[in-house]
Structure 1
Amino acid sequence: MANILITGGNGQLGQCLASFQALYPEHDYTITDVDDLNICNGDEIIEFTKEGKFDYLINCAAYTAVDKAEHEQVAAKKINADAVKNIGVAAKLNNFKVIHISTDYVFDGRAFKPYSEDAVTIPESFYGQSKLLGEKFLLEEQPDSMVIRTAWLYSEFGNNFVKTMLKLGQEREELKIVADQIGSPTYAKDLAEVVLEVITKIEKDSFPFEPGIYHYSNEGVCSWYDFTINIHELAGIDCNISPIESKEYPTAAPRPHYSVLGKNKIKENYKINIPYWRTSLEKCLKVLVAKQ
């Protein structure tokens, strides 16, 4: 039904999207990473998408080393902002829709209730600034685009917090984990399935393509400390976890203390049911523990 191009195919979300091809066989998929398609090269992406005649581009490519971005600002901006602008230019020229993945780091984390899609953005890290700039570039160049902000992404693929806590929990008797940063863990497979579900609903004429900014994370909230307790409990790991404050674990890039995303728009516009974070964590851990 749709010809879909996925960029950033070697990342967590890209690999999750690839794993769902069999469940959505009605679509044609072209999955790329930098060796196949360099989105930092504007001419290259224009030519590639012209030849491919795509209906949608799902952009999972990103510079995600949050702390390194403070010192590698040119590299972060090139991938998170300039390359997204290239995608927008190509999308306008070659008439395809874009679904771009962004982040909760566009907010300053000082809220006391979930951030709505139209909440004021005040990123405090360069990573967040570069991602916000990418959002703006894309919507300026190709208004017929969706930006989906997500948070605390993990999966069976790549490097992420869940896999790190499994490893450290097995290696150490005690861990100290930040307890004053609150958010919603997001299973990348849930996000991947939602993206493909939205495309499928649009292609079946069940729902219109409604561009703009959306939020997606799993339901419920927790701290990194709570998250770690649950990871170890579900994986059967015996490790003493102690809560600490952010000031006891300084990082180059400031983290939002509260980055819970309000998800009403995607739920209402596309009738999406979102799983509770612990339910999805349990699914992921069953896969990860079986691999050990």
Structure 2
Amino acid sequence: MPERTGDAATTPIAVIGPTAAGKSDLALDLAEQLCGEIVNIDAMQQYRGMDIGTAKLTVSERRGIPHHQLDVLEVTDIATVARYQAAAVADVENIRSRGLRPVIVGGSMMYVQSLLDEWAFPATDPAVRAKWEAVLERDGVEQIHRSLTAADPEAAASILPTDGRRMVRALEVVELTGQPFAASAPKIGEPRWGTVVLGVDRDTAELDERIAERTRLMFETGLIDEVEGLLSLGLREGVTASRAIGYAQALDVLAGEYDIEHARERTFIGTRRYVRRQRSWFRRDDRVCWLDGASPTLTSDALAAIDAP
């Protein structure tokens, strides 16, 4: 059984949900009112220098509240759920040991489940991994996606079709275990530390408008320049970072394959597609108390949910 604590003042709060729903502002409000510190659970915000395209809060926007698991990776590093899990668990437990409240915020689906459900990851086999990596290198991400669709349609539907690394990992697990990739995931039960899980969402049309506006601002406030600056740090060679939504499209602009308008449209479409996957994943979790991100009483609604039995 996951660990529980009798000290409600240090029980973590997780603020999850789709991109652009309003999670960050709510998390800041809760951290301010409940003596908390923020633990990021967005995979791409772990990367130093990837700020504009990930909608990472600037230091001034963080209201003086400490943030953990931001800017902990170089763009050449591979972001893994296992690394995140170990580091974030240490952060949460350190915050609690100081009598403060961890406020976990973000929308990376597998990261959320790894942290709240104590995911134990299947073993790896270098030979099997190398085989599928060779397919990815030789035949491209489309072939890996087709292979995964044939082997495990549910996994293929849940993983970003441009995320070749994660699809390779899914194929490795399926081959090693003879079971679907999802079978290695933990069963949803009592969340670790008794975490209160809040979900923030909005009406789809309104969320689409927010995504469109966020995408427009990304490109107008320097995403292309940010990506150009990251090239010298190895962004194009980064297995994970180079495939982030917005960054992949900006790289195509710099390579002369897209113009900015087309890149912006592809980023918007990719983000909307990702939102559909986030909703499908998070809505299966009956522990989540869903809140309307557009409500003028969002913070008080969240506080009431936290205090509810």
TM over 0.5: no
Normalising by the residue count of structure 2, what TM-score does the alignment of the two structures yield?
Answer: 0.30
- Bigger fraction of residues in helix: 2
Normalising by the residue count of structure 1, what TM-score does the alignment of the two structures yield?
Answer: 0.31
Q: Which has the higher contact order (CA 8 A, sep 6+)?
A: 2
- Bigger fraction of residues in strand: 1
